[in-house]
Amino acid sequence: MITLSWLLLIALVGGALALVDGIMRLRARGGSTVVGIIEIVVAGLFLLSLFLPGIPFGSLVLGIATLVVLVVALITRGRTGLTLPIIALALIALWLVLLNRWLIIPGIN
């Protein structure tokens, strides 16, 4: 059974935006396809790790990997926009901070 919480919603939205950004990066004419493929794989594994316990790496490690891939995607922009990776980066960074209890907000974590 999955418990719906604010922390899960933040992770889902951030992972989904990273996945959509990877798909858009693949479909763009001048986009970097290698970064797009890596972004799709890492974001997909991150989203799966939120629901399935059998993923080899935990959701924390995959969240950090998604964060790194999003930073690389921002550096190698190509012809895609900046809005999706920046929002996904902010949401996954917020999820990592709240998950590790570096910042405690009552009602969220």
Which pLDDT score, from 0 to 100, does residue 67 have? 95
Which pLDDT score, from 0 to 100, does residue 31 have? 67
Is 104 a domain residue? Answer: no
The reply to whether the predicted model has a pTM over 0.75 is yes
Residue 81's identity, in one-letter code, is G
Q: Integer distance in angstroms from the first to the last C-alpha of the chain?
A: 19
The DSSP secondary structure of 37-87, one letter per residue, reads: HHHHHHHHHHHHHTT-TT-SS-HHHHHHHHHHHHHHHHHS-TTS-SHHHHH
pLDDT in tens, 16-40: 999 999 999 888 877 678 999 999 9
Domain that holds residue 68: 9-99
pLDDT in tens, 92-101: 999 999 988 8
Is 109 a domain residue? Answer: no
Is 107 a domain residue? Answer: no
Please give the tally of structural domains in the chain.
Answer: 1
Is 31 a domain residue? Answer: yes
